[in-house]
């Protein structure tokens, strides 16, 4: 590579330097070590973050997945191993790139079913769904984990993840203080609107399994959430507010001065719990992450309360 | 026309009564005590809701609606154009883009000076529009043309930001749809003093502005500096609309509709419009908002008011169009561009450019190992994917350019384009309906629905305009109403935060990503057939711009020729929209560019525009695929950015 670059430098024409640079760049990318795969494991490409997360958690990371930088910001855990290729936007995985990566199987959810026929010539496409508008999200999430495990030949690891998640949630459930009020789990869209997670969402399912009541009973959309203005929360008595971070710019300051926010029963009843980012449409890793951060928040609150009293 | 018993005062009184009834209903629904909640005990949640949520909300709607209507009156009076509004003048696009950029890159600034950021954006956009139109003494048509271009340009940039920062900008989508929800009195306290200043200034200017009803020469004889008067009045309008948009989000339609409606109700003089339009605008917004409150009270839906006013307003506007007395302004015809002596050679040069662009787009690209030389990778890993996209981009570009040329010649209006006609928006509505009602529907269903939507909007166009003999202004107004409707519905959908909306956003912004070979081939063949049909009609296209009497005396049946040409435009647009989404820019851009280049005859303009449209779209598609590889920027957006820059640069010397 160095010799080639030196040769290019010797040629005076600017064009030659440019070509040499591009060639060097190509060689550099060739030299990037491919991700070490187990011999018989199929090369999988995924689009949905929940599936990517699950595959990484059962030790069979995909060859390629969508929007890795955004995943790091919003899903956060588990980390994407080095060498996984970025396919670009989730709605538009790069077809040319996909066709060049010798993919064995592509997994999608029905949200991306519009892409199915386009992807089919590249590799067999598997649709593995959590949200179908009717089934219980928790059972579907467990089932999709099993199917992903079977897909990559790691059934045992998938079962282990399922059991481990359940054990973790149970462990967290045991730490939930008694007399925990029903929780209202929200994520701020802007200072006047929140996304509330319904019972049939991943977050709602975790609450249920931890024995905590979900204060939002009004239902929501296909994906298990409702986007509502703050005043819609005013009628919910006897609940406690849980805010999933990150907060959009300026929201913390604006709700601080908001008379309505401070008079909401769910805010007034008890201090608001703020928890770190959790991907509400993820797989089991997101579920156990939510259980942990929630218990941490509740626990901190308890110890603080005890210290205070 | 209006019956004598409708006067602006009675109209407003009626709406005020309606508002009172609705308000009582909402309060009653909110709590058992009803209106008494307003003076309930300090810590009672019903009282807090009524005093810090409901009352500020109604007040903000009244004040904000008034501000927008005031801006609309100023714009329409200054530009002597019933279509002038914050949206058509680039203000909305500027504010929107500035707030998005602020949220992403300067959160600290947004925290302390959100209003300033938004106003800077709106003022910047308007300043750009002024700069572009200054040499033409801020002539009304040139200003609106520049405003539309700037709006599209900033809109394209905003879509790129939304596409790549989906999660971070979710809240901005709600703001973009104009939800009026309030938490305290801060919003009203922000709006009230600023809009009061704007109102006083408008009254101070009103006497001079009334003279703009005269034509330019007469007004100038009275010793008025027209450019400065227009600048002052438009600047005031920008201030009023930017203040409202920053605080309440994008509230469509009020600025356009309130002035028109009070004028229809009999407020003909500027002074009376300055009084009644803001009152009516405020009432209109507040009534809409309270109706929505009632509807969504116990559901989990979020229906943003701003977008809904636009959605409800569009049918109202359609109903108004046959009743609207459009004073045909003499209007400045498109300035004669230098005529090229060798039009044939110019078209040939463009064609060579197109061939080069196609070769590059097909054979050069990035892959798994960085940039590839042509033929280093197998065809089915590269070219196979590129052929449909290049073909579709080229065909769509050419079709839109031809459609744009035809509609501009038929209407004698350089601002006309297929998207302004509403055909692309009709297609968009059809596709939107499928995405919402049949989640997971395949591409063929989407295409069928799009075609149905296009035909429906064509039917509306013909139905409303047949009696008025397809008078160009009415046709354009009809189209803009449909565009409003599409814009509003898509904003309501985006605000709901449904994860599928991202795909919608991608299609709206004009990507060739979803195109497959059969579709691309179909569209290309359709394009060729339609182009073959247009060519024999070139005589009409040369004669119609000369004006109706001239054309008629030269033996053209104006009614039939217009209808036929409109149908052709609709088909061309529908075909292209299925591929590249409803917000293309090429139909406006290409015909104007080739005219500026010197292709004056219909024959040359058609051929040149078709080739240039294809060239720009193919280039845009390639650049969009390569720039952020492996992510893609939709071709429609890149085309807007490439073409828009050139267009703005040329507009200054138009």
A239 phi and psi angles, rounded to 5 deg: -145, 165
How far apart, in whole angstroms, are the C-alpha atoms of residue B251 and residue A124?
Answer: 46
Distance from CA of B518 to the nearest CA of A (A): 12
- Residue B466 burial class via C-beta count within 10 angstroms: exposed 0-12, middle 13-18, buried 19 and up: exposed
Identify each DSSP E strand in B109-226 by its residue range. none
| pLDDT tens column, B468-508 | 766 666 776 677 778 778 877 877 777 766 666 666 777 77
Paired tokens of B74: 């100023």
**Domain A44-167 carries which CATH code?**
3.40.50.1980
Across the interface, do B385 and A221 touch by the CB < 8 Å criterion? no
Maximum Cα–Cα distance across chain B: 83
Question: What 3-state DSSP class applies to B619?
Answer: helix
How far apart, in whole angstroms, are the C-alpha atoms of residue B298 and residue B302?
Answer: 11
Chain B hits for A30, CB-CB cut-off 8 Å, are 369
How far apart, in whole angstroms, are the C-alpha atoms of residue B491 and residue B211?
Answer: 39
Distance from CA of A66 to the nearest CA of B (A): 9
Nearest to B522 by CA among B627, B443, B438: B443
Chain A hits for B183, CB-CB cut-off 8 Å, are 191-192, 230, 254-255, 258-261
Chain A hits for B385, CB-CB cut-off 8 Å, are 95-96, 99
Across the interface, do A248 and B299 touch by the CB < 8 Å criterion? no
- The answer to whether residue B113 scores a pLDDT higher than 90 is no
Paired tokens of A269: 């009843």
Average confidence (pLDDT) over B193-213:
89
State whether B169 and B268 are in the same domain. Answer: yes
Query: Per residue, what are the HEC states of chain A?
Result: CHHHHHHHHHCCCHHHHHHHHHHHHHHHHHHCCCCCCCCCCCCEEECCHHHHHHHHHCCCCCCEECCHHHHHHHCCCCCCCCCCEECCCCCCCCHHHHHHCCCCEEEECHHHHHHHHHHCCCCCEEECCCCCCCCCHHHHHHHHHHHHHHHCCCHHHHHHHHHHHHHHHHHHHHHCCCCCCCEEEEEEEECCEEEEECCCCHHHHHHHHCCCCECCCCCCCCCCEEEEEHHHHCCCCCCEEEEECCCCCCHHHHHHCCHHHHHCHHHHCCCCEEECCCCCCCCHHHHHHHHHHHHHHHHHHHHHHHHHC
Give the pLDDT score at B330: 44
| pLDDT tens column, B421-457 | 787 888 888 878 887 787 666 666 776 777 788 778 8
Which pLDDT band, with edges at 50, 70 and 90, does B393 fall under? very high
B245 phi and psi angles, rounded to 5 deg: -65, -45
- Strands A273-275, A240-244: pairing is parallel
Average confidence (pLDDT) over B606-614:
94
State whether B47 and B139 are in the same domain. Answer: yes
Dihedral sign of CA atoms B229, B232, B233, B235 in order: positive
Nearest to B486 by CA among B199, B252, B163, B143: B252
Give the pLDDT score at A80: 92
Nearest CA in chain A to B42: A263
- The answer to whether residue B509 scores a pLDDT higher than 80 is no
Nearest to B436 by CA among B322, B575, B301, B560: B301
Give the rounded percent of residues in chain B with a pLDDT score beyond 90: 19
Residue at a domain's end among B320, B352, B374: B320
- Residue A167 burial class via C-beta count within 10 angstroms: exposed 0-12, middle 13-18, buried 19 and up: exposed
For residue B474, what is the domain's CATH number?
1.10.3470.10
Nearest CA in chain A to B43: A263
State whether B229 and B138 are in the same domain. Answer: yes
Chain A contact for B629 (CB, 8 A cutoff): yes
How far apart, in whole angstroms, are the C-alpha atoms of residue A45 and residue A148?
Answer: 12
Domains contained in chain B, number:
2
Neighbours of A307 (CB within 10 A): 7
State whether B315 and B410 are in the same domain. Answer: no
Give the pLDDT score at B354: 95
Is residue B99 in a domain?
A: yes
Contact between B69 and B62 under an 8 Å Cβ cutoff? The reply is: no
Give the pLDDT score at B357: 94
**Element containing residue B370 per DSSP (H, E):** strand B370-372
Across the interface, do B171 and A258 touch by the CB < 8 Å criterion? no
Q: What is the dihedral of CA A233, A236, A239, A242, to 10 degrees?
A: -10
Give the pLDDT score at B482: 82
Is residue B553 in a domain?
A: yes
Q: Which stretch of A24-33, A122-131, B106-115, B216-225 has the lowest confidence by average pLDDT?
A: A24-33
Contact between B573 and B423 under an 8 Å Cβ cutoff? The reply is: yes
Residues in a beta bridge with A106: A45, A125
How far apart, in whole angstroms, are the C-alpha atoms of residue B184 and residue B179?
Answer: 15
What's the distance, Cα to Cα, between the start and end of chain B in Å? 39
Distance from CA of A83 to the nearest CA of B (A): 12
- Between B325 and B193, whose confidence is greater? B193
Across the interface, do A96 and B385 touch by the CB < 8 Å criterion? yes
How far apart, in whole angstroms, are the C-alpha atoms of residue A222 and residue A201?
Answer: 9
How far apart, in whole angstroms, are the C-alpha atoms of residue B593 and residue B597?
Answer: 6
Low-confidence ranges of chain A (pLDDT < 50): 1-2, 5-8, 10-11, 25-38, 305-309
State whether B392 and B298 are in the same domain. Answer: no
| pLDDT, averaged across chain B | 81
| pLDDT tens column, B31-76 | 766 677 777 666 677 788 888 888 999 999 999 999 999 999 998 8
State whether B157 and B46 are in the same domain. Answer: yes
Chain A hits for B495, CB-CB cut-off 8 Å, are 227
Is residue B334 in a domain?
A: no
Across the interface, do A229 and B179 touch by the CB < 8 Å criterion? yes
Question: What 3-state DSSP class applies to B366?
Answer: strand
- The answer to whether residue B211 scores a pLDDT higher than 90 is no
Is residue B447 in a domain?
A: yes
Question: What 3-state DSSP class applies to B372?
Answer: strand
Paired tokens of B577: 């929209």
For an interface test with B, the pick among A92, A111, A123, A219 (most B C-beta atoms closer than 10 Å) comes out as A92
Give the pLDDT score at B344: 87
Quote the distance between the C-alpha of residue B229 and its chain's center.
26
The DSSP 8-state label assigned to residue B340 in this structure reads P
- Write out the residue limits of the CATH 3.40.50.1980 domain(s) in chain A: 44-167, 177-308
State whether B393 and B310 are in the same domain. Answer: no
How far apart, in whole angstroms, are the C-alpha atoms of residue B400 and residue B523?
Answer: 12
Across the interface, do A254 and B299 touch by the CB < 8 Å criterion? no
- Between B585 and B150, whose confidence is greater? B150
Chain B window 464-503: which residues touch A at a Cβ cutoff of 8 Å? 495-500, 502-503
Fold of A177-308: Rossmann fold (3.40.50)
Contact between B129 and B89 under an 8 Å Cβ cutoff? The reply is: yes
Chain B window 270-329: which residues touch A at a Cβ cutoff of 8 Å? 298-302
Paired tokens of B443: 């591409």
Range of the domain at B65: 8-320
| pLDDT tens column, B569-579 | 878 887 888 77
**Element containing residue B365 per DSSP (H, E):** strand B365-367
Give the pLDDT score at A25: 47
| pLDDT tens column, B287-320 | 999 988 888 766 656 678 888 887 877 777 777 6
Across the interface, do A99 and B53 touch by the CB < 8 Å criterion? no
State whether B315 and B396 are in the same domain. Answer: no
Which pLDDT band, with edges at 50, 70 and 90, does B215 fall under? low
For an interface test with B, the pick among A76, A116, A259 (most B C-beta atoms closer than 10 Å) comes out as A259
Residue at a domain's end among B320, B344, B379: B320
Give the pLDDT score at B283: 94
Q: Which of B181, B381, B495 is closest, CB to CB, to A99?
A: B381
Is residue B336 in a domain?
A: no
ipTM confidence score: 0.72
């Amino acid at each position: 590579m160095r010799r080639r670059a030196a040769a290019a430098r010797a040629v005076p024409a600017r064009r030659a330097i440019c070509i040499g640079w591009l060639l060097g760049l190509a060689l550099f990318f060739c030299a990037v070590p491919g991700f070490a795969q187990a011999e018989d494991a199929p090369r999988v490409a995924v689009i949905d973050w929940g599936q990517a997360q699950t595959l990484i958690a059962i030790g069979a990371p995909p060859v390629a997945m969508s929007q890795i930088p955004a995943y790091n910001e919003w899903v956060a855990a588990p980390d994407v191993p080095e060498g996984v290729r970025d396919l670009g936007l989730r709605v538009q995985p790069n077809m040319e790139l996909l066709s060049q990566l010798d993919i064995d199987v592509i997994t999608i959810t029905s949200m991306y079913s519009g892409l199915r026929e386009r992807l089919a010539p590249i590799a067999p496409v598997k649709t593995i769904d959590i949200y179908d508008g009717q089934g219980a999200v928790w059972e579907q999430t467990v089932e999709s984990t099993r199917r992903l495990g079977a897909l990559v030949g790691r059934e045992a690891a998938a079962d282990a993840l399922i059991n481990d998640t359940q054990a973790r949630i149970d462990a967290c459930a045991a730490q939930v203080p008694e007399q925990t009020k029903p929780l209202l789990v929200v994520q701020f869209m802007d200072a006047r609107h929140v996304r509330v997670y319904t019972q049939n969402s991943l977050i709602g399912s975790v609450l249920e399994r931890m024995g905590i009541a979900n204060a939002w009973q009004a239902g929501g959309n296909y994906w298990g959430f409702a986007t509502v203005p703050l005043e819609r929360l005013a009628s919910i008595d006897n609940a406690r507010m849980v805010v999933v971070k990150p907060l959009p710019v300026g929201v913390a300051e604006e709700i601080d001065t908001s008379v309505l926010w401070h008079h909401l029963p769910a805010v007034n009843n008890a201090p608001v719990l703020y928890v770190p980012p959790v991907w509400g449409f993820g797989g089991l890793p997101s579920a156990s992450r939510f259980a942990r951060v929630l218990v941490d928040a509740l626990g901190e609150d308890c110890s603080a309360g005890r210290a205070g009293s | 026309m209006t019956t004598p018993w409708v006067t602006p005062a009675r109209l407003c009184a009626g709406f005020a009564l309606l508002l009172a009834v609705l308000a009582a209903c909402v309060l009653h629904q909110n709590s058992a005590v009803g209106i008494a909640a307003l003076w309930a005990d300090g810590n009672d949640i019903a009282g807090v809701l009524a005093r810090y949520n409901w009352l500020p909300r109604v007040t903000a709607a009244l004040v904000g609606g008034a501000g927008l209507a005031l801006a609309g009156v100023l714009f329409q009076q200054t530009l002597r154009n019933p279509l002038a509004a914050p949206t058509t003048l680039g203000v909305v696009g500027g504010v929107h883009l500035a707030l998005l950029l602020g949220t992403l890159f300067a959160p600290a600034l947004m925290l302390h000076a959100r209003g300033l950021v938004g106003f800077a954006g709106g003022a910047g956009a308007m300043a750009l529009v002024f700069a572009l139109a200054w040499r033409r003494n801020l002539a009304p048509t040139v200003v609106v043309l520049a405003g539309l271009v700037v709006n599209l340009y900033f809109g394209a940039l905003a879509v790129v930001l939304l596409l790549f920062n989906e999660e971070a900008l979710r809240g901005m989508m709600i703001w973009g749809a104009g939800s009026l929800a309030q938490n305290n009195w801060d919003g009203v306290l922000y709006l009230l003093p600023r809009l009061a200043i704007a109102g006083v200034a408008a009254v101070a200017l009103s006497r001079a502005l009334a003279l703009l009803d005269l034509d330019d020469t007469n007004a100038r004889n009275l010793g008025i500096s027209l450019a400065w008067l227009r600048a002052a009045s438009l600047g005031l309008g920008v201030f009023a609309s930017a203040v409202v948009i920053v605080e309440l989000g994008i509230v469509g339609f009020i600025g356009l509709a309130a002035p028109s409606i009070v004028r229809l109700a009999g407020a003909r003089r500027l002074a009376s419009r300055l009084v009644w339009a803001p009152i009516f605008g405020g009432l209109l917004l507040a009534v809409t908002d309270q109706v929505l409150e009632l509807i969504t009270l116990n559901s989990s839906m979020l229906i943003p008011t701003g977008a809904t006013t636009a959605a409800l307003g569009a049918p109202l506007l359609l109903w108004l169009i046959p009743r609207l007395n459009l004073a045909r302004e003499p209007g400045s015809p498109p300035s004669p561009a230098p005529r090229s002596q060798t039009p044939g050679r110019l078209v040939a040069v463009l064609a060579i450019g197109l061939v080069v662009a196609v070769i590059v787009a097909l054979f050069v690209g990035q892959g798994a190992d960085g940039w590839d030389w042509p033929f280093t990778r197998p065809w089915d890993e590269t070219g196979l994917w590129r052929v449909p996209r290049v073909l579709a981009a080229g065909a769509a570009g050419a079709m839109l350019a031809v459609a744009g040329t035809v509609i501009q010649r038929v209407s004698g209006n350089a601002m006309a384009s297929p998207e302004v006609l509403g055909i692309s928006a009709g297609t968009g509505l059809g596709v939107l309906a499928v995405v919402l009602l049949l989640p997971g529907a395949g591409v063929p269903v989407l295409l069928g629905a799009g075609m149905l939507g296009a035909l429906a909007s064509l039917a509306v166009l013909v139905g409303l305009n047949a009696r008025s003999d397809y008078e160009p202004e009415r046709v354009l107004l009809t189209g803009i109403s449909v565009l409003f409707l599409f814009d509003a519905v898509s904003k309501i959908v985006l605000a709901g935060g449904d994860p599928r909306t991202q795909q919608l956003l991608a299609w709206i912004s004009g990507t060739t990503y979803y195109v497959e070979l059969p579709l691309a081939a179909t569209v290309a063949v359709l394009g060729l057939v339609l182009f073959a049909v247009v060519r024999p009609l070139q005589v009409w296209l040369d004669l119609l711009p000369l004006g109706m009497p001239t054309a008629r005396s030269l033996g053209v049946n104006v009614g039939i020729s217009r209808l036929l040409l409109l149908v052709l435009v609709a088909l061309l647009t529908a075909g292209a929209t299925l591929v590249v989404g409803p917000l293309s820019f090429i139909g406006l851009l290409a015909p104007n560019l080739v005219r500026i280049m010197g292709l004056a005859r219909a024959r040359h303009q058609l051929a040149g525009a078709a080739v240039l449209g294809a060239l720009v779209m193919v280039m845009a598609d390639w650049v969009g695929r390569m720039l952020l590889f492996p992510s893609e920027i939709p071709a429609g957006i890149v085309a807007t950015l490439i073409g828009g820059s050139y267009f703005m640069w040329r507009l200054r010397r138009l």
